[in-house]
Structure formats: structure tokens, C-alpha cells
């Protein structure tokens, strides 16, 4: 039975008082932001007149953003405690309205900067008074050559709502209108397939259930493939329109501009994974062998190769496991983890009305809070380690950087969380004598590689191909999209797997293809995490210390430069190849275990 929030002990609930000790202070901050908005208006038309004006407007805008983050985050986290609360929904709405008001008030700042002559800009930014904000301002000004006239910018802004129509069409079809048939589950019950239960069906130990779910889902998508092709084609054309209008060489270049990521990072990822695709083919063969299949199908990829092992892990035991798993990171790191575990950063248990899932969140002025809905499973232990990785990253960034650089980009975000997961799984594999448990842990790790490196890179290559086709004047149809996608599945998974009818339209159910070249970051982040973790596990103290410095860097430089300082060059293929070398070792280790079993059986 789900508990009421009042029934859960205080030690298992986050303490939001560091953010606001009472709601009167929250109200006071909303009033303060209104005054700051009035102040920022006084600089309109004067931003480039003097160093003092530029400094004043930058600090006013940053202070507005800092307070707004506190206002919104507090109200949203309180709402997440009980999603039915009208009080906190009202506070969230108030925060959103205030954010829009602030955004409108500050909208003149960047255009006024962009309008200045290059020589005048350099003179202002070079002043010692603006030293702390130099990287921040230079980053804004990187977009100068891609900024249009005021009239043209207004036209682009006015079509902003229209530009989201392709995703809206996709979302309405996929999430609202699409209905999947019922199938018979493992227990003989007729159950309707949904987006939520499809993957659990694919993880089923009953092959008939997996096959029925697969065929039913993709038969439904196939019936609407032309509509989905139209929406995805429109999305690609939209990206092409914006990249051409803003004078970028390609849609990919435009998408990577925000974090100043070289196109070579994207291309090297695809190239490195392609060079190591034989290791995925070996994994497919291993799956077929481990599962004792005559032939392996697409619907056999998600189910565990080893029978599910029941592991009931209570939260206090999970804390101990995480601390043990992260020992290689050293005492300084562990002290921060212990503080998080013992100082009510974490909202641990499910309660009535609480938001589902898990996240790490907070602001520059708060603790790096974690929301969990902890159940006594191994997956939840990994969730704790993962979210703690995000939170320690946030803690270090905020402790060591001023507010302006206290956050970090998406390109870097998943590295810290995944390092923790990799360290934990390596610890479990190395310290498990039970053969079935070792196979279970190896299966978990192998699937992370398959799902995060190979699969996301396949998605990234698909995005690149379809955008290049449109940029070359070609068209995207259901048939062409399916042919491209089918070819990629054959390349990534090899000749041994059966490409079941329907898999060619899987592109129609992937929402990330509307996120403008987003998914490659999952693969680069995981690869970087494995690269760091392997060096840390080896006992390389210098590598560990450089990793900690990376966590402290926030956004004080561009993501690839921050990683370079930590000893990792993401513009080369080395980190990807090193990670996939580890994948190959894991495949061999699992195969050795089942070879021993087969010898015993013989």
C-alpha cells in the first residue's frame, strides 16, 4: 500500500529549507524580481555605452535568473511532493509568468551587444571589471555572425510557434491517437500494449509474449508510416531552414553550435563505433548462444540472457553498496556522497501523489537534491548511484565556480552520473563469487553498452543521413526512411540477427529524432564515463584528481576544453575506441563463463 507523505520518517525526506525556510521568503523573492526587472529596463539603449553599463546589466540579468531559478525550483519540487496540490501548482504558475516577464524585459540585451562594432566590443569585454564575465560574454558573441537584422530576427521569432508543429503532430499521433492491440501476457491475461509496458514485454522471459508484442506494436506503426514520415520530414526541413537562414554550413553544425562542439566529435563517434561494430556482432552471437536459440530475432535483444535474480536490497543497504562501489574516487568525493546521504538531500520513498521517476535537481543556492521512488531492487541501487553522480557534480560546480559558471552543459551532464554506475557495476562484478550473479551483472553492463553507445550512435547516424539527404535536395518518404533504417540495423547488429518485418519503421516511434541531433550525447557521455572510470579503477591517482577537477569546472569553459583539461580529447576517436575495447572484454568474459558451464554439462 502506498503511504501518505506524513507516514514517512523525516530522515527519508528532502529538506528544502536551505532554499526557503518559509514561504514568506519565497513571496519576498518574487517581489524582489519585479524590482530587478524595473532596474534592468533602465539600461535599455545604453548597454554598450560604457563598461559600467555592460557590467550593470549583466549582473542584473544574472541576479534575476538566479532568483527565478530558486522561485521555480522550490515551487516545482514542493509540487512534486504532491502533484495534486493546487497551492504549489499556483506557485509554479506564478514563477512561470514571472520568467516570461523577465525574459521579455531582458530581450534587448543581446541584440544591443550584437549591434556594436567589433572594435568597441573587444574594448568593453577586455576591461578588467568584466574579467569574470569574459567567457560568458564571448560565448554570447560567438553567435554574432549567425544573428540577423532586427527585422529578420522578429520574423524568425514570429514563426517560432509554427516551427514546433512537426513535433506536435508527431506527439499527438504517437501519444494521444495511436492505439495498440491487446496481447496475451505470461499469465494468460489479455493486456493492451502501451508505450509504458512495451519494453517490459520485450524483457519478458516468455518468447511468445516478446514476439506478439513486437509484431503488434510495429504493425500498428506500419499502418501510419506515411503520416509519421511526413512529420519527421517536416522536422528535418525545419532544421534545414533555420541552419540556412542563420548561415550555418549544415543542420548538424547549427545544432552543435550552442555548446561549441566541433562537428568532428559527432563524426568521430560514428566512425569509431563503425570500426568496432564487429564487437556488437559478437555480442549478438553471444546472446544467441547464451539463450540457446536456433536463430536470434530483434525481439530477443532486451530480455536478460540469464534468469532474473531476486535481490531485495533495502535502502540502508543500497547506501552502503554505493559507498563501497565509489571508493576508488577517494575520500574527498566520498565525504560529499556521505553528506548527501545523511543530510536530507534525498526524498527517498514513494508516497501518495508524489511524482514518479527520479532526478537530481536544485539551484546554485540550494542543496543538489535527489528525488527517488525507492523500491528494494538492484535497478534502484543504480538509480541512487546515478543521481548522486549528478548531485556531486552540481555540488562541486557550485562550490568552485561563481553563479555565472555554476551549471554545466548536457554534453557533460551524463558523464558524472555514468561514472558512478560504471564504478558500481565493476565493483559488483569483481566482488561476486556467485556465477549466476556475475553473469547477471555482466548482462546489465553489456546492455548499457548496447543501448547507450551502439543504439544511440545508430540513431545519430540515421539523423545525419536524413538531414544530409534533404540538404542535397532529396526527399524523405516512408519507403526511403525505412530503407535507411533497415540498412543501419543490418550494419550495427550483423548478419546473424533476423530483421523481423516491422523493425524498418522503428524510426516512427523514436521521439528523439525531433530533438535536433541530441542523442549522440548519450553515446559520447557513456564512452567518456567508461574512459574515466577505467583509469580511476586502475589506481591512477592523477586521473582521479583530474576527474574531480572536471567536476569542479562547471561551465567555466567549453565542454570539449573542460574534458581536454581532464585528460580526455573528445575530438579524437580514442575515448570511444577505449570504451568499446572494454565492451569486447566483457563479451569475452561472459562467453568464458558459459563455455565453462557447457564443459561441465558435457
CATH number (domain holding residue 115): 1.20.140.70
Q: Say what the pLDDT of residue 210 is.
A: 98
Strands (E), 488-588: 497-498
Tally of domains within the chain: 2
- Beta bridge partner(s), residue 315: none
Per-residue pLDDT tens digits for 383-418: 999 999 999 999 999 999 999 999 999 999 999 999
Query: Residue 317 CB: number of other CB atoms within 10 A?
Result: 13
- Beta bridge partner(s), residue 360: 370
- Work out the burial of residue 412: count CB atoms within 10 Å of its CB; fewer than 13 is exposed, 13-18 middle, 19 or more buried: buried
Q: What percent of the chain has pLDDT over 70?
A: 99
Using the predicted structure, report yes or no on whether residue 596 has a pLDDT greater than 90. no
Has residue 412 been placed in a domain?
yes
> Mean pLDDT throughout 105-129?
91
> Mean pLDDT throughout 214-222?
97
Using the predicted structure, report yes or no on whether residue 599 has a pLDDT greater than 70. no
Has residue 287 been placed in a domain?
no
Per-residue pLDDT tens digits for 296-332: 999 999 999 998 777 899 999 999 999 999 999 999 9
Per-residue pLDDT tens digits for 2-41: 899 999 999 999 999 989 999 999 999 999 999 999 999 9
Residue 338 belongs to domain spanning: 315-438+541-601
Has residue 235 been placed in a domain?
no
Q: Say what the pLDDT of residue 149 is.
A: 82
In which residue are the cell numbers 560546480 written?
Answer: 397
Per-residue pLDDT tens digits for 420-455: 999 999 999 999 999 999 999 999 999 999 999 999
CA diameter of the chain: 85
- The answer to whether the CB of 491 falls within 8 A of the CB of 457 is no
Has residue 371 been placed in a domain?
yes
Which of 144-158 are b and which e, b meaning 16 or more Cβ less than 10 Å from the residue's Cβ? eeebeeeeeeeeeee
Average pLDDT of every residue of the chain: 95
Using the predicted structure, report yes or no on whether residue 194 has a pLDDT greater than 70. yes
Long-range pairs for 335-340: beta carbons < 8 A, 24 or more residues apart: 336/392, 336/395, 336/396, 337/388, 337/392, 340/367, 340/368, 340/370, 340/388, 340/391, 340/392, 340/395
pLDDT band at 117 (very low <50, low <70, confident <90, very high): confident
Has residue 28 been placed in a domain?
yes
Residues assigned a catalytic role: 387
Residue predicted with more confidence, 595 or 318: 318
Concatenating the DSSP letter of every residue in 162-207 gives HHTHHHHHHHIIIIII--PPEEE-TTS-EEE--HHHHHHHHT-S-H
Helix/strand/coil percentages in the chain, nearest 5: 70, 5, 25
Concatenating the DSSP letter of every residue in 462-492 gives HHHHHHHHHHTT----HHHHHHHHHHHHHHH
CA angle centred on 395, ends 390 and 397, rounded to 5°: 95
Has residue 424 been placed in a domain?
yes
Per-residue pLDDT tens digits for 546-589: 999 999 999 999 999 999 999 999 999 999 999 999 999 999 99
- Which region holds residue 303: left if phi is over 0, alpha if psi is between -120 and 50, else beta? beta
**Domain end point (choices 128, 147, 166):** 147
**Domain end point (choices 147, 181, 212):** 147
> Which residues have a Cβ under 8 Å from the Cβ of 198 and sit 6 or more positions away?
180, 213, 217
**Domain end point (choices 147, 181, 207):** 147
pLDDT band at 191 (very low <50, low <70, confident <90, very high): very high
Q: Say what the pLDDT of residue 459 is.
A: 98
Q: Say what the pLDDT of residue 597 is.
A: 72
Has residue 301 been placed in a domain?
no
Using the predicted structure, report yes or no on whether residue 521 has a pLDDT greater than 90. yes
Has residue 382 been placed in a domain?
yes
Q: Say what the pLDDT of residue 602 is.
A: 61
Amino acid at each position: 500500500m502506498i503511504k501518505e507523505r506524513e507516514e514517512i520518517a523525516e530522515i527519508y525526506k528532502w529538506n528544502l529549507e536551505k532554499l526557503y525556510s518559509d514561504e514568506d521568503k519565497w513571496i519576498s523573492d518574487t517581489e524582489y524580481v519585479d524590482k530587478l526587472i524595473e532596474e534592468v529596463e533602465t539600461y535599455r539603449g545604453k548597454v554598450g555605452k560604457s563598461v559600467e553599463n555592460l557590467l550593470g546589466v549583466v549582473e542584473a540579468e544574472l541576479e534575476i535568473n538566479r532568483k527565478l531559478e530558486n522561485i521555480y525550483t522550490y515551487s516545482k519540487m514542493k509540487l512534486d511532493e504532491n502533484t495534486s496540490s493546487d497551492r504549489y501548482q499556483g506557485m509554479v504558475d506564478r514563477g512561470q509568468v514571472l520568467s516570461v516577464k523577465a525574459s521579455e524585459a531582458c530581450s534587448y540585451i543581446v541584440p544591443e551587444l550584437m549591434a556594436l562594432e567589433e572594435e568597441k566590443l573587444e574594448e568593453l569585454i577586455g576591461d578588467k571589471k568584466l574579467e569574470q564575465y569574459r567567457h560568458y560574454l564571448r560565448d554570447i558573441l560567438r553567435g554574432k555572425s549567425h544573428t540577423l537584422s532586427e527585422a529578420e530576427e522578429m520574423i524568425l521569432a514570429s514563426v517560432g510557434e509554427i516551427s514546433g508543429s512537426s513535433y506536435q503532430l508527431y506527439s499527438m499521433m504517437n501519444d494521444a491517437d495511436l492505439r495498440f492491440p491487446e496481447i496475451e501476457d505470461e499469465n494468460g491475461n489479455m493486456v493492451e500494449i502501451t508505450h509504458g509496458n512495451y519494453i517490459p514485454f520485450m524483457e519478458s522471459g516468455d518468447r511468445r509474449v516478446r514476439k506478439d508484442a513486437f509484431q503488434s506494436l510495429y504493425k500498428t506503426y506500419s499502418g501510419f508510416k506515411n503520416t509519421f514520415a511526413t512529420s519527421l520530414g517536416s522536422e528535418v526541413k525545419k532544421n534545414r531552414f533555420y541552419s540556412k537562414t542563420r548561415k550555418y554550413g549544415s543542420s548538424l553544425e547549427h545544432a552543435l553550435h550552442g555548446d561549441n562542439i566541433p562537428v568532428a566529435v559527432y563524426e568521430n563517434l560514428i566512425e569509431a563505433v563503425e570500426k568496432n561494430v564487429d564487437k556488437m556482432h559478437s555480442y549478438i552471437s553471444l546472446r544467441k548462444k547464451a539463450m540457446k536459440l536456433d536463430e536470434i530475432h530483434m525481439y530477443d535483444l532486451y530480455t536478460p540472457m540469464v534468469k532474473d535474480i531476486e535481490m531485495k536490497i533495502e535502502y540502508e543497504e543500497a547506501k552502503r553498496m554505493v559507498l563501497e562501489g565509489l571508493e576508488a574516487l577517494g575520500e574527498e568525493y566520498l565525504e560529499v556522497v556521505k553528506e548527501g546521504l545523511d543530510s536530507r538531500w534525498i526524498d527517498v520513498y514513494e508516497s501518495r501523489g508524489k511524482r514518479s521517476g527520479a532526478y537530481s535537481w536544485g539551484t546554485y543556492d540550494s542543496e543538489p537534491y535527489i528525488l527517488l521512488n525507492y523500491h528494494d531492487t538492484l535497478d534502484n541501487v543504480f538509480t541512487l548511484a546515478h543521481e548522486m553522480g549528478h548531485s556531486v557534480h552540481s555540488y562541486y560546480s557550485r562550490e568552485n565556480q561563481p553563479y555565472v559558471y555554476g551549471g554545466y552543459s548536457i554534453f557533460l551532464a551524463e558523464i558524472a552520473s555514468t561514472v558512478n554506475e560504471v564504478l558500481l557495476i565493476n565493483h559488483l562484478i569483481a566482488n561476486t563469487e556467485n556465477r549466476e550473479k556475475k553473469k547477471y551483472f555482466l548482462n546489465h553492463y553489456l546492455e548499457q553498452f548496447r543501448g547507450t553507445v551502439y543504439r544511440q550512435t545508430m540513431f545519430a547516424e540515421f539523423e545525419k543521413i536524413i538531414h544530409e539527404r534533404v540538404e542535397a535536395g532529396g526527399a524523405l518518404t516512408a519507403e526511403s526512411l525505412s530503407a535507411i533504417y533497415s540498412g543501419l540495423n543490418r550494419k550495427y547488429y550483423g548478419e546473424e540477427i533476423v530483421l523481423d518485418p516491422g523493425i524498418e519503421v522503428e524510426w516512427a516511434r523514436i521521439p528523439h529524432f525531433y530533438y535536433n541531433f541530441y542523442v549522440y550525447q548519450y553515446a559520447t557521455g557513456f564512452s567518456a564515463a567508461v574512459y574515466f572510470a577505467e583509469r580511476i579503477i586502475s589506481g591512477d591517482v592523477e586521473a582521479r584528481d583530474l576527474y574531480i577537477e572536471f567536476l569542479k569546472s562547471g561551465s567555466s569553459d567549453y565542454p570539449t576544453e573542460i574534458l581536454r583539461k581532464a585528460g580526455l580529447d573528445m575530438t579524437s576517436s580514442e575515448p570511444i575506441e577505449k570504451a568499446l575495447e572494454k565492451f569486447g572484454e566483457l563479451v569475452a568474459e561472459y562467453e568464458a563463463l558459459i563455455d565453462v558451464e557447457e564443459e561441465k554439462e558435457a
